Structure 1
Amino acid sequence: MSALLNRAALARLAPELRPAVDPAELRTRVVHFGLGAFHRAHQAVYTEQAAARSGEPWGITAVAPRSAETVRALRDQDCLYSLTERRPDANVSRVVGAVVGALAMGPDAKAVDALLADPEVTVVTLTVTEKGYHRSPLTGGLDTAAASVAADLAADPDGPLSTVVGRLAAGLAARMRAGAPPISVVSCDNMAGNGAALGRVVHDFVRASAWPDRAEILDRMAEAVAFPATLVDRIVPATSEADRTAAVAALGVRDALPVTAEPYRQWVLEDSFAAVRPPWERDGALFVPDVAPHQLTKLRLLNGSHSALAYLGTAAGLDTIAETMAADWGERLVRALCAEVAPTLPVGRPDPRAYADDLVVRFRNPAMHHLLRQIGSDGSLKITERWLPALRELRARGTSTPVLELALAAWVLSIRRSAAPTDPAADTLAACWEPATRPADTVGALLRVLGAADLADDDALTTAVADRLPALRAGRMEI
């Protein structure tokens, strides 16, 4: 068996395979919640390059909300891992060294809070997916009635908490009490206005707590904690066993946690930080006064198309985005959805037509094996952000919405076929499928679960979606 990837093994690697910076020279100045592949292929890369090009010791301690196994595996490798860019002509691999610590949020609660209160830590980033924010579909604020949130509110804030929102709120409260310097907390999840959304649920948690000094904490947070909005973009498939085998071949050492990604990456950030931060712009990150145009374009075009391809591809019996794009309707679906949604986007850049051209190229990359089931997971949260706001705007204008109706029908069919076992609303969604119910009524019931009662009451919409179901069941993609 090959030796394990760790700091001792770096000297045996070819120079082009080694990290851009010596990990031993870095210190924890960024805390990141979410130890998944996306962070390791995106923010960690930007941070490593920022440290290498500035000479500043910007290291990351990553906190895993659930997976203690991933923490152990990363620690065993001195927090090193490999990144492989899947290019159409050839793969390119190297080791990333930006992560210098790994913690499990529950068992290591005290260590997490200590870092959040550490004056040297001035940035917190998050990739915890939409469901990690526990937002109410009705208000957009924290769902304090959710079992895990309610349990955290009733628990000792110094002990283990089960939600990232609770742990972050408790840690920031400790920082405020200690009078530590300001800090910026950066959501890197795919939500419109993600900075404001994160700020709201954190403030809601503090406000709903039983902490006697909660009013003072909120006042201090208003001055000392910033929640910049961001847009993040890179396609990062789930790691497969074949990826692990390929990593050994590329490195000559064994990597238990390799990640793969497309060559393209983008990071746009609202320039409203409360404290010093890594100079991510040295690696191409863009700082702007208003992220909203970029964020909305990406959310509705890239993420919206991705979800549509996932559900229609699944209905057609396909497995990956590249396979779906190879179908005779794949490119047509992407371009049609982008054209349909374009009127809901801010005028000016990014240009929707050029954006669609880029999406077709990226989605067609034959080296990528992005699974439809990965993209289609947690649909009740994703499509609420990606499709429904555009659907509302267009229908309010009296504009036809055939592509969004088709996409919504494919999602409805996916609920019928799989009962969406990983979706946080799985049981409620499954209960909407009653054999004797009219298909249009089932569509309406599903929309109500999404908090979209207004769309559920649109009889023309629910009928149009229901009318698409027979063709989809037969595997016909009528675009």
Structure 2
Amino acid sequence: MNLPSLNRAALSRIPPGLRPAVDPAELRPRVLHFGLGAFHRAHQAVYTENAAARSGEPWGITAVAPRSAATVRALRDQDCLYSLTERRPDGGVCRVVGAVVGALTMGPDAESVDALLADPDVTVVTLTVTEKGYHRSPSAGGLDTSAAPVAADLATPPGGPLTTVVGRLAAGLAARTRAGAPPVSVVSCDNMAGNGGVLGRAVRDFVRASDWPDRDEVLDRMAGTVVFPATVVDRIVPAAGAADLITASAALGVHDALPVAGEPYRQWVLEDSFAAARPPWELDGALFVRDVTPYQLTKLRLLNGSHSALAHLGLATGCATIAGAMATEWGESVVRALCAEVAPTLPAGGPDPAAYADDLVVRFSNPTMHHLLRQIGSDGSLKIAERWLPALRELRARGTGTPVLELALAAWAHGTRPGAAGPTDPAAGALAACWSAPVRPAETVGALLRVAGAADLAADDALTVAVADRLPALRAGRVEI
């Protein structure tokens, strides 16, 4: 049976309780979002739609895909509607989300993107572009202006094509300040400590490195009109598959080509430092606080840290999903032990680490999630720099043992071997080259850490030996806590 496609005309066919919480036709593009991935559609878009519905304010989102023109076309074909299924152990719950009112591709639609960045009605810009989208320098932490995409953007004449989100954002915000448009809040929703500060620095570094004759004036104006609040976002959103298409179609009675699925749990903590009007996300449970650091570090080091540990350990032992790793004899122990090991590095004022670990065990064990380890383990050299290494440095500086982090590092190292078919990584070539020289295993570990930007840890002989000592068991498919 051929079902009609999901679009606004088909909404009347869908059961009332599964339709968007607000009429999409009543929304206006007041939020600009970079990163048209599943996470945004299952997280910020849901908060924004529910906030619009509960406040009566027309907060709509225009989403910009940095590269994926195919996703933009598919979303436009559906009038920017899509379905979200909450995967619960007792069955999925599906609904249509209508918060996205426009979809653009950053390159071909550059003029439209810039127009929205300068639009006085757009007072919030959000981003989910992953860690690598910020092009940070591993050593200095700011924008890596020597990175080929950034250097190319800096060399592009005014009005020319820009390929990085940081470059597009910097140019658009500069045009906004030159036009005297109202203040705007630019909100990073990526998993990085101090993500607001990281984004703000990257944008300012781009302006500072440009050859714009008024770059100093632009920086001065931005200091008074553009803010970069820090945030913590949390919801596990696995890659959608064929089963999600079937589930959505069965529930809705229409065909959705772009379904997303997520766990029931979601959280959003935001620094309460916005410069202009924003959606009242607190009406849907978002938490506004003076300092997000305790929440941010708890999430990065406990949830994201244990997620990465399960991914690399699971891949080393033949697992495919997080739930599969949790079903092993070592899965729950790794999560609880890692949380306990890292807890002393967390500042006061955040969630209780033991209770947080309890929640993680439940969330990770959800058998309906099918969250792929290869997806979680991708870009490992970038992710571990945020998720493991700061806590590792702090604990070792205190003289505290770090056996679980050492085990996790060994699993990551194991997956970087040439021919290991590990998860994708932008530094895969450099990582594989670390194994080519006939040196002691500890020296290979040190070389891998240097590629990950951790020369200080690479010089810690006790650490590199401890990590190397874990490799034989992993090669044999064993996880020894």
User: TM-score range, shorter-chain basis?
Assistant: over 0.9
1:157 CA displacement = 3.9
Distance 1:157 1:293, change over 3 A: farther
AA of the residue aligned to 1:250 = A
1:292 maps to which residue?
293
Matches within 5 A, 1:248-327: 248-327=249-328
Matches of 2:4 and 2:86, distance apart in 1? 23
Structure 1: state its 5+ residue gaps: none
Distance 1:92 1:271 in 2: 32
Preserved CA contact (<8 Å) 2:167 2:203? yes
1:449 counterpart = 2:451: yes
SS of aligned partner of 1:319: coil
Report which stretch shifted further, 353-362 or 158-167.
158-167
- 1:430 CA drift (Å): 1.3
Q: In 1, Cα distance between the equivalents of 2:251 and 2:169?
A: 38
Asked if 1 retains the 8 angstrom alpha-carbon contact of 2:379 and 2:423, the reply is no
1:394-452 Cα shifts (integer Å, max 9, x gaps):
00000010000000000000111546573111211111111512111110001001111
TM-score normalised per structure 1: 0.99
Matched, 1:50 2:51: yes
2:388 is aligned to 387
CA distance in 1, matches of 2:38, 2:453: 30
Partners of 1:115 and 1:349 in 2: CA distance: 36
- Cα distance per residue 1:251-271 (max 9 Å; x no partner): 111111100000000000000
**SS of 1:415's equivalent?**
coil
After superposition, the C-alpha distances for 1:345-404 in whole angstroms (9 at most, x for unaligned) are 013431100000000000001111100000000001100000000000000000010000
After superposing the two structures, state which structure 1 stretch, 168-177 or 339-348, moved more.
339-348
- 8 Å Cα contact 2:374-2:422 kept in structure 1: no
SS class of match (2:415): helix
Decide whether the 8 Å contact of 1:182 with 1:275 is kept in 2. Answer: yes
Render the CA deviation track for 1:282-320: whole Å, top value 9, x for unaligned: 000000000000000000000000000000011110100
Cα shift readout 1:180-218 (whole Å, capped 9, x = no counterpart): 000000000000000000000000000000111111100
Aligned residue for 1:26? 27
Given that residues 185 and 228 in structure 2 are in contact (C-alpha distance below 8 angstroms), is that contact kept between their aligned partners in structure 1? Answer: yes
* Partner Cα separation in structure 2 for residue 47 and residue 160 of structure 1: 30
Q: Given that residues 414 and 420 in structure 1 are in contact (C-alpha distance below 8 angstroms), is that contact kept between their aligned partners in structure 2?
A: yes
Question: For the residues of structure 2 that align with 1:185 and 1:390, how far apart are their CA atoms?
Answer: 28
* Alpha-carbon offset, residue 94 of structure 1: 0.3
1:335-414 matches, within 5 Å, as 335-414=336-415
CA spacing shift, 1:368–1:419, aligned 2, 3 Å: closer
Out of 471, 477, 480, the position equivalent to 1:478 is 480
Whether 1:16 aligns to 2:23 is: no
Q: CA deviation at 1:159?
A: 2.8
The equivalences for 1:208-287 within 5 A come to: 208-287=209-288
Q: Distance in 1 between matches of 2:6 and 2:229?
A: 35
| Secondary structure at the counterpart of residue 277 of structure 1 | coil
The amino acid of 2:386's aligned partner reads E
Contact 2:375 2:423 in 1 (8 A): no
Deviation >3 Å, runs of 4+: 417-421
Separation of aligned partners in 2, 1:347 and 1:184? 27
Q: Contact 1:322–1:363 (CA<8 Å) still a contact in 2?
A: yes
In 2, Cα distance between equivalents of 1:255 and 1:284: 28
Per-residue CA deviations over 1:222-278 (Å, capped at 9, x if unaligned) read: 000000000000000001122112211111111111000000000000000010100
1:86 equivalent to 2:87? Answer yes
Whether contact under 8 Å (2:374, 2:423) holds in the other structure is no
Query: Structure 2 vs 1, CA of residues 157 and 306 (structure 1 numbering), >3 Å: closer, same or farther?
Result: farther
CA change 1:348–1:170 in 2 (3 A) is closer
Tell me the distance in 1 between the aligned counterparts of 2:358 and 2:280.
Answer: 30
Structure 2 counterpart of 1:437: 439
Distance 1:313 1:172, change over 3 A: same
Distance 1:325 1:419, change over 3 A: closer
Q: Which amino acid aligns with 1:401?
A: T
Contact 2:107 2:163 in 1 (8 A): yes
Q: Aligned residues: percent identity?
A: 81
Q: Give the partner amino acid of 2:438.
A: A
Listed as ranges, the matches of 1:60-209 within 5 Å are 60-209=61-210
* Whole-Å separation in 1 of the counterparts to 2:267 and 2:98: 20
Tell me if the contact between 1:158 and 1:170 (Cα under 8 Å) persists in the aligned partners.
no
Paired residues in the alignment total 479
* Structure 2 CA distance for aligned equivalents of residues 246 and 353 of structure 1: 35
- Between stretches 432-441 and 210-219, larger displacement belongs to 432-441
SS in 1 for 2:404: helix
- Residue 467 of structure 1: aligned partner: 469
The CA RMSD measured in Å over matched residues stands at 0.9
> What's the secondary structure of 2:416's corresponding residue?
helix
